[in-house]
Amino acid sequence: KQEVTQIPAALSVPEGENLVLNCSFTDSAIYNLQWFRQDPGKGLTSLLLIQSSQREQTSGRLNASLDKSSGRSTLYIAASQPGDSATYLCAVDPLMDSNYQLIWGAGTKLIIKP
């Protein structure tokens, strides 16, 4: 059974720092992995999607990596800004024809202090 874990649950850093958020999954048979951002009282915004054949994806100050063999993904945020404050969720799409679910981590709540 696929399980997704995100560590730490919460992180507070000063503005301008580079930081890494971690996501681990127990079953390497995945179709893809996505990182989402959730703002309070809002829905989810997809940040990056990494297909199982890829090792990383980049968008602006964000870089996501994927290591299937070790069951890990990281989201790297460069030069953090107060506007980056949000909860970051990772979700795995399992590689099973009969499984339509995304499996979610509980999220990392990120606070960037001005």
Partner 1 sequence: NAGVMQNPRHLVRRRGQEARLRCSPMKGHSHVYWYRQLPEEGLKFMVYLQKENIIDESGMPKERFSAEFPKEGPSILRIQQVVRGDSAAYFCASSRQHNQPQHFGDGTRLSIL
Tokens of 19: 């930081």
Angstrom CA distances, 35 to 64, 73, 97, 98, 114, stand at 8, 9, 22, 23, 24
CA distances from 41 to 3, 61, 113 (A): 26, 24, 20
With CB under 8 A as the contact rule, the residue among 44, 56, 74, 76 that binds partner 1 is 44
Residue 12 binding partner 1, by CB under 8 A:
no
Show contacts with partner 1 in window 52-91 (CB under 8 A).
89, 91
Q: Which two tokens stand for residue 31?
A: 């179709």
Least Cβ distance, residue 9 to partner 1 (angstroms): 8
Given the complex with partner 1, which of 72 and 109 has the nearer CB atom?
A: 109
For the CB of residue 16, give the shortest distance to partner 1 in the complex, in Å.
Answer: 28
Omega cis (within 30) before 8: yes
Residues in the site for partner 1, rule: CB under 8 A?
Answer: 4, 6, 31-32, 34, 36, 41-46, 49, 89, 91, 93, 99-107
